[in-house]
Amino acid sequence: MTNRLLLYPLLAAMAATGAVASNAARAADAPKVISPDTLPAVQVSEGVRLKELTGRAAPAGARSTLGSVALFELDPGHASAWSHNKAGEESFFILQGHGDVWTGNTAHAVGPGDYILIPPAVVRSIRASKGEVLKFYAITTPAWSKDDDVLVPAPAGAPK
């Protein structure tokens, strides 16, 4: 199954309010379907990759500072870095596989269809189970930025 996301760029909203005057500009910024299969993967760390569908570094026509959506893929047994956002609220929507979302030193088991909202300043990491790939969407509002993301050591009692 191919995951696809229909994107409505910020410029389309601006066109509807008259902020963008020409019909040509409106047509160029019409919603379009973006398939993650067509996007390059970014290697975040060993065993952790992402494809940004919308956000600050997304493909032309899908850039936004209001929110970001990235498709993550974690190899079996691999985990994201321990971090927290200063201001951004982040949520994970699990598509495939099983694992644990750690908030502080508490693990939350997750599987396909599960969703978890992580408020700003909550230290978190997500880890794939040892036997399967974990795929999930990470949704961040406002859009994820390097300046908002704070890397931290693993909390006491949590895996490194």
State residue 2 phi and psi, 5-degree precision.
-95, 130
Closest CA to 78 of 134, 22, 38, 26: 134
For tokens 């409505």, the residue is 8
In contact, 122 and 150? CB cutoff 8 Å: no
Going from N- to C-terminal start, the domains of the chain cover 38-151
Q: What single-letter DSSP state applies at residue 97?
A: S
Q: What tens digit of pLDDT does each residue of 95-148 get?
A: 999 999 999 999 999 999 999 999 999 999 999 999 999 999 999 999 999 999
What pTM does this model have? 0.81
d(CA 160, CA 118): 19
| Total length of the chain | 160
Q: What tens digit of pLDDT does each residue of 44-101 get?
A: 999 999 999 999 999 888 999 999 999 999 999 999 999 999 999 999 999 999 999 9
Q: What single-letter DSSP state applies at residue 18?
A: T
Closest CA to 67 of 11, 144, 136: 144
CATH number, span 38-151: 2.60.120.10
